[in-house]
């Protein structure tokens, strides 16, 4: 059984393995022992913190194989980005160059440095080990966060964003960054990405071009990757699009990967979720649903195959082992969303 839960201190070694496997461009999991330990500690403190508004909390979850104890993947939520450190994006927009006298009219794409997503909730740190990329594991890892956000609205912003990894090769070389490096920086993409991951962002404000960048002045290779995702990220962005997330022209400042956004109330899983009362019994059916308890520190989510009847206030039959994994008892209410 695959169960999603908050991360614990003893998960450090497994998180390190995931950080190594995720490779270049996965900024939120830098290969740095102290910082990974700090991420775990911060997450534990965030789950335990009583709060009624989105602040500097960072929630990190892991997907555990209950039979082996192996951690299959991880995902995270940043309650509100940019409150302590500036949160940068490039915004892709257009300017018009025209002359009636000469009969010239040309629309040109430009990239403008901005902090427009300051205060938004961010979905982050999503990674699933290759051998577990099957059945409903990826959907559970990604979509379970929507149930957590919906059940604890006071902890999050109304706007949710997700930065998608942009195009880079196996050595971590990004065509977009190569152009920036040539003209404004003297460091390669993995170094810049790593510095950002460990919180050293001052160089961005110091060295990043302050004025809009004309896209047609970029190298051909850089132009082609603006707003495009890494091959490994395509399933993730397609899943978010199916949930109602849209791309509104914001791209990452390093690899030009797209950032997508949605209002919490417009997220498909949130719209289609509801509370049901647990009944312990023999669960039957072939309708795959995601089930989550309503806890914070003891949050659990998993996928079961059952038959669902009635409205949001109806019952759901769970086996004793499934109820135990969810840390619920007969009569408790759980949040249910069809996959």
> How many Å apart are CA 277 and CA 128, to the nearest integer?
31
| Enzyme catalytic residues | 230
Cβ neighbors of 257 (< 8 A, separation 6 or more) are 163, 164, 165, 166, 167, 227, 228, 229, 230, 233, 251
> How many Å apart are CA 164 and CA 230, to the nearest integer?
8
Cα torsion 9, 11, 13, 17: sign = negative
> How many Å apart are CA 160 and CA 117, to the nearest integer?
9
């Amino acid at each position: 059984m695959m169960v999603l839960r908050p991360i614990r201190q003893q998960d450090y070694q497994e998180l390190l393995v995931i950080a190594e496997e995720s490779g270049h461009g996965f900024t939120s999991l830098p290969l740095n022992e102290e910082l990974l330990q700090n991420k775990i500690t911060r997450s534990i403190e965030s789950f335990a913190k009583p709060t009624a508004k989105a602040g500097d909390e960072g929630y990190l979850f892991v997907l555990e194989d209950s039979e082996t104890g192996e951690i299959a993947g991880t995902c995270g939520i940043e309650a509100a980005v940019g409150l302590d450190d500036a949160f940068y994006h490039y915004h892709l927009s257009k300017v018009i160059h025209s002359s009636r006298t000469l009969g010239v009219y040309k629309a040109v794409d430009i990239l403008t440095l901005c902090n427009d997503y300051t205060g938004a909730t961010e979905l982050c740190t999503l990674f699933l080990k290759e051998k577990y990329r099957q059945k409903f594991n990826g959907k559970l890892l990604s979509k379970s966060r929507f149930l957590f956000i919906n059940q604890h609205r006071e902890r999050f912003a109304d706007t949710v964003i997700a930065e998608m990894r942009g195009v880079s090769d196996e050595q971590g070389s990004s065509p977009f960054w190569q152009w920036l490096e040539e003209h404004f920086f003297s460091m390669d993409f993995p170094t810049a990405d790593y510095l950002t991951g460990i919180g050293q962002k001052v160089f961005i404000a110091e060295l990043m071009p302050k004025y809009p960048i004309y896209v047609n002045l970029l190298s051909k290779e850089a132009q082609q990757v603006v707003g495009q995702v890494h091959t490994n990220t395509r399933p993730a962005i397609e899943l978010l699009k199916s949930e109602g997330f849209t791309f509104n022209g914001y791209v990452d400042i390093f690899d030009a990967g797209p950032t997508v956004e949605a209002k919490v109330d417009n997220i498909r899983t949130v719209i289609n979720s509801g509370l049901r009362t647990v009944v312990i019994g023999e669960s039957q059916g072939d309708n795959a649903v995601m089930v989550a308890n309503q806890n914070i520190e003891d949050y659990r989510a998993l996928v079961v195959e059952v038959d669902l009847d009635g409205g949001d206030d109806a019952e759901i039959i769970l086996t004793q082992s499934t109820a135990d994994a969810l840390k619920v008892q007969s009569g408790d209410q759980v949040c249910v969303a069809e996959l």
